[in-house]
Structure 1
Amino acid sequence: MDLGLKDKVAAITGGSIGIGLGVAEAFAREGAHLLLAARQGERLAAEAGRIAETYGVTAVPVPCDVATVEGAQELIGAARDNFGGADILVNNAGTGSNETIMEAPDEKWQAYWELHVMAAVRLARGFVPMMKERGGGAILHNASICAVQPLWYEPIYNVTKAALLMFSKNLANEVIKDNIRVNTVNPGLILTPDWVNTAKKLTANSGGDWQGYLQSVADEFAPIKRFGTVEELANFFVFLCSERASYSVGATYYVDGGMLKTV
């Protein structure tokens, strides 16, 4: 299926590792050019160079922290300076948390609010005008199943991802008149490097069977009985940002192996 993404420009936050990097490669396979944002400049530059060489596209690394006003402006400026704008924005940057509501300080709540919500708000204000100039575009937010089915140990993550979900819906209603489609994906268990590292740490003193630990998590939470791969999720992201999904507006999609318990 031709997704119509050849020579489109996609900006992806959190693009140096995990889901963001997988999404970048999926776009590159379709012939799209890339703006990759992440804080780790050296790793980001290496991955951008590898993708450009592998797929024959332009991949511009933008080392920045999109959780800050300055970082968001750097990515917006890089889009305009390198490509005259962008057609697609994937707000992927984010991370899990671990705390209790009673003990977490204001500073931690604020940091996650800036990363999961305000980064998306600021980037929308910068990218939407550029997309309008190009005749339209697509914005996709990577939220989480935890936005609607929270895990007990990360209330800040749950709350800020839920807020991102509501922001996405409001933005979708506001910009569809400009031919800009906004949607959200709520992934479930996706096998990222973070999950592998966590499993290795948790099993280090009990035999080191990190694969067995991950399988036990999948057995408990996912009816499909396995983690999803980054590539499986990335393929869905790319489809939603393509012209083949042109009637998808303001929706939330679950890529979770059946983990969601409600209808």
Structure 2
Amino acid sequence: MNLGLQGKTAIVTGGSKGIGFATAMALAAEGANVALVARGLEALQKAAEQIAAQTGQEPLVFAADVSEEQDVRMAVEKTVERFGSVDILVNNAGTSAARPFEEVSQDMWEADLDLKLFGAVHFSRAAVPYMRQNGGGAILNVTAVGGKGNHIPGIRCCFLRHRYFGEH
């Protein structure tokens, strides 16, 4: 399949496993330059090796905390330094610590929002100026709520949103 991604540059947060890894693999298979971001360097290196072996593309890896703005800025700047641009951002960082609603403390809510919401905000803020310089780009935000453990019966929510900038 040719999605027209040859030579485009993508940053994938949560890129060392799961949906992020599969997304990074698919982007690299289409010829995109890929930067992987996650907290665990060992898992990132393993993911990068697998992607390189299967696609021939050498991903850039960043062990970073997406809730820390300085980590995010560094990852975006180093990606641009290596590949020259950012065209695609996949905000996928997050964990699943599902538990009954009544058991989730304020600290847990804040940590979850820092990781999933504000991590995406930080990356989007850092990447959008480069996308605008290139005449456009795409941001994909991936998250899911529910699904594990004792959830509230009958309530499920999934969010997958694509934001497109420019005339690509």
TM-score normalised by structure 1 residue count? 0.56
Instruction: Output the aligned Cα RMSD.
Output: 2.7
Distance 1:97-1:34 versus aligned 2 partners, 3 A rule: same
1:151 Cα offset (Å): 7.1
Q: Which structure's CA Rg is the greater one?
A: 1
* Structure 1, unaligned runs of 5 or more: 181-242, 244-263
The one-letter amino acid paired with 1:36 is L
The one-letter amino acid paired with 1:179 is G
Map of 1:179 onto structure 2: 166
The 3-state SS of whatever aligns with 2:103 is: coil
The one-letter amino acid paired with 1:80 is V
Map of 1:27 onto structure 2: 27
CA contact (8 A) 1:51 1:57 kept: yes
Map of 1:85 onto structure 2: 85
CA contact (8 A) 2:33 2:83 kept: no
Cα distance in structure 2, aligned partners of 1:143 and 1:46: 23
Map of 1:113 onto structure 2: 113
The one-letter amino acid paired with 1:138 is A
The one-letter amino acid paired with 2:110 is Q
Map of 2:128 onto structure 1: 128
Map of 1:73 onto structure 2: 73
The 3-state SS of whatever aligns with 1:140 is: strand
The one-letter amino acid paired with 1:153 is N
Write the mapping of 1:71-220 to structure 2, written as runs, cut at 5 A.
71-144=71-144, 146=145, 153=150, 172=163, 178-179=165-166
TM-score normalised by structure 2 residue count? 0.84
The 3-state SS of whatever aligns with 1:143 is: strand
The one-letter amino acid paired with 1:123 is F
Cα distance in structure 1, aligned partners of 2:134 and 2:58: 19
1:154 Cα offset (Å): 5.2
* Structure 2, unaligned runs of 5 or more: none
Map of 1:254 onto structure 2: none
Map of 1:2 onto structure 2: 2
Q: Which protein has the bigger strand share?
A: 2
Residue identity over aligned pairs, in percent, reads 35
CA contact (8 A) 2:48 2:61 kept: yes
CA contact (8 A) 1:85 1:127 kept: no
The 3-state SS of whatever aligns with 2:16 is: coil
